[in-house]
Amino acid sequence: MNAEPGTRVLTAETASIEAAAACLRAGGLAAFPTETVYGLGADAGNGEAVARLYAAKGRPAFNPLIAHVADLAAARRIAIFDADAEKLAAAFWPGPLTLVLPKRPGSGVADLALAGLDTVAVRVPDHPVAQALLKAFDGPVVAPSANRSGHVSPTDAAHVLADLRGRIDLVIDAGPCTVGVESTIVSCLGEPTLLRPGGLAREQIERVLGHPLATAAVPADDDAPLAPGMLASHYAPKAGVRLDATSPRDGEALLAFGPAPEFSGTTFNLSPRGDLIEAAANLFSHLRALDASGAKNIAVMSVPHHGLGEAINDRLARAAAPKQ
């Protein structure tokens, strides 16, 4: 089904939603926008489609995928909710929160999509195109970020095409994503635990739970399946990255936050006014733009660590990790 070499680029209209749903039903790969980043969708119940998805991304097969569904009722068909999970779903779905839950026996999600785990990551995205597609398809859709493995997540359709043109069947172009970083992942397998900081701030989750989130132990091994997505160099631009720079050095490009120092070299600013939400939305596109500018090294100014800053700093630390 992976129509070579063409990848259809569709506008966000009813006929495109129908075409994407039909593509998924036929075992194809359809990229679509969510409020966080663009996802590469496949039928969660079709193991072969899931395998093609891993191949298109070049993703290690031990890394499990998020099952996307239209609403809580659909989520209950594939996962088991405890009281904390119920609270979080009620407060934040649809939205940029993924819950890792025990999988419901007979849920029909392909084992390959779960990388053999008996848990499932579930998300109800808050984007009109994602919602319409999930309703039209009427079943769980696994969707990792629509980039080649090891590249930054795509926040518009051009990013998707740069990585995956000719490797996937279609992409629905609905313009840039509003959140710009991936969903926050919380496991509810006991004490709620933050597995990945993301588009929903930790503080908001803790307010609803009424207590702090546990933080996942740092995985000893980058390839360990428990806290996957924590692969150290997952969010890697080609350029070298120097964090917490106060002023750029000769030959570096600058990724600024807030008021930037005088500098004649290539500069992108995550948010000149120091707004973390704006910075999150710009993060991946600015990293890509800096790579495209030919910069060999990027000096990154420090970003405050509260709110969405935690997710931004997590992605920047990965970008700075030594390349494998």
Site of interaction with ligand TXA (CB under 6 A): 34, 36-37, 39, 63-66, 98, 100, 117, 119-121, 123, 125, 143-145, 182-183, 185, 195, 228-229
DSSP SS3 for 248: coil
Measured distance CA(73)–CA(70) in Å, rounded: 8
Min dist CB 38 to ligand TXA, Å, is 7
* Residues sharing a CB contact under 8 Å with residue 64, sequence separation 6 or more, in sequence order: 113, 114, 115, 117, 121, 225, 228
| CB nearer ligand TXA, residue 64 or residue 140 | 64
Instruction: Name the residue with the smallest CB distance to Mg ion.
Output: 145
Measured distance CA(220)–CA(257) in Å, rounded: 32
Min dist CB 49 to ligand TXA, Å, is 15
Min dist CB 249 to Mg ion, Å, is 31
Please give the full DSSP string across 55-94, using - where no structure is assigned: HHHT--TTS--EEE-SSHHHHHTTB---HHHHHHHHHH-S
Report whether 120 contacts 109 (CB < 8 A).
yes
Note whether 145 binds Mg ion by CB under 5 A.
yes
| CB nearer ligand TXA, residue 42 or residue 255 | 42
| CB nearer ligand TXA, residue 100 or residue 280 | 100
Given 3-state DSSP classes, what are the helix, strand and coil percentages for the chain, each rounded to the nearest 5?
Answer: 30, 20, 50
Min dist CB 203 to ligand TXA, Å, is 19
Report whether 108 contacts 173 (CB < 8 A).
no
| CB nearer ligand TXA, residue 65 or residue 254 | 65
Judged by beta carbon distances under 5 to 8 A according to partner kind, the member of ligand TXA, Mg ion, none in contact with residue 34 is ligand TXA
Span near Mg ion by CB under 5 A; candidates 48-56, 138-146, 246-254, 306-314: 138-146
DSSP SS3 for 190: coil
Q: How many helices (H) and strands (E) does the chain have?
A: 10, 15
Min dist CB 65 to ligand TXA, Å, is 5
Measured distance CA(231)–CA(195) in Å, rounded: 12
Min dist CB 110 to Mg ion, Å, is 19
Judged by beta carbon distances under 5 to 8 A according to partner kind, the member of Mg ion, ligand TXA, none in contact with residue 33 is none
Which residues contribute to the site for Mg ion (CB under 5 A)?
Answer: 145
